Amino acid sequence: MADQLLASLQSMGQLLLAMDTGVGLLIGVGLSMSASHLFALLANRLTPKQIVLHMIVDALVLSLAFLLGILCHSLMLMLLEGVPLQPITFANHMGAAMWPGLFYVLAAAPYVSDLIAVTLLAWIHLNVMLLLQAVYNIPLETSLVVALPGFVLALLLVGLLFAQRWRTSYTMLATEVSALTSP
C-alpha cells in the first residue's frame, strides 16, 4: 500500500513537472484567491506564520480544485469530441485561460466583492470556451457543454473551501468579540 502511494505521488510529481506552465499559473491563481481571505485572517489576529500557512494551504487546495476542473474538461473533450486524452498538453493550453484569476485578490473589496468574483470566474470560463474553439476547432455551443461540468466542479470545490474558511474565521472572530463585550 505504501509503495503504491509512493508510486502515485512520484507519477503525480512527473505530471506536475510536465505541466510547468499551467501549474505555475494555477498556483498564482490559487494564491490570489487565498489572498482575498487576508482581511479575515488579520481580523482574527493570527500570527504571521499562521496567516502564511493558511494562505499556502488555501492556494494549493484552490489550485487543485481548478486542476480537477481542467481534467474534467479533458475527459469531456474525449467523450464528446473524440479528442485523445492528453491531460498534460490540455492543462498547458487551458492554464492560459486562468490568467483573469490572478486578479481575484480584488474580490476582497467591500460591497463589490461578489460582482468582481463572479465576473472573474465567468471570464475564466469564457477563456476556456474560446481556447477549446481555437485549439480543437470546436463550436462555442459544444465548448460550453465540454467546459461546463469541469467549471461547475471547480466552483463547487472553491465554494466549499471558501464557505468553510469564512465560517471558521467569522465564528472565531465572533467568539472573541463576545468574550470582550461580556462581563
The mean of the pLDDT values for the chain is 79
Q: In the prediction, which pLDDT does 76 show? A: 87
* 182 class by beta-carbon count within 10 Å (0-12 exposed, 13-18 middle, 19+ buried): exposed
State mean pLDDT over 87-114.
Answer: 81
Question: Does residue 143 have a pLDDT over 60?
Answer: yes
Question: Does residue 137 have a pLDDT over 60?
Answer: yes
Lowest-confidence segment of 32-36, 56-60, 83-87, 164-168 by average pLDDT: 164-168
Quote the cell numbers at residue 50: 499562521
Question: Does residue 126 have a pLDDT over 70?
Answer: yes
In sequence order, what are the residues at sequence separation of 6 or more whose Cβ sits closer than 8 angstroms to the Cβ of residue 136? 77, 81, 83
Q: DSSP readout, 96-163?
A: GGGGGGGGGGGGGSTTTHHHHHHHHHHHHHHHHHHHHHHHH---HHHHHHHHHHHHHHHHHHHHHHHH
The per-residue pLDDT for range 43-85, each reduced to its tens digit, is 777 788 988 888 888 888 888 888 888 888 888 888 888 888 7
- Look at 15 and 139; give whichever has higher pLDDT: 139
In sequence order, what are the residues at sequence separation of 6 or more whose Cβ sits closer than 8 angstroms to the Cβ of residue 175? none
- Look at 179 and 91; give whichever has higher pLDDT: 91
**Rounded percentage of the chain residues whose pLDDT exceeds 90:** 3
Gap between the Cα atoms of 118 and 158, Å rounded: 12
DSSP 37: T
State mean pLDDT over 10-36.
Answer: 70
Question: Does residue 16 have a pLDDT over 60?
Answer: no
Question: Does residue 159 have a pLDDT over 70?
Answer: yes
Q: pTM for this one?
A: 0.74
In sequence order, what are the residues at sequence separation of 6 or more whose Cβ sits closer than 8 angstroms to the Cβ of residue 109? 116
Of 113, 90, 53, 80, the closest CA to residue 98 belongs to 90
Q: In the prediction, which pLDDT does 62 show? A: 84
Taking each helix axis from N to C end, the angle separating 20-35 and 87-95, rounded to the nearest 10 degrees, works out to 50
Question: Does residue 163 have a pLDDT over 50?
Answer: yes
Question: Does residue 17 have a pLDDT over 50?
Answer: no
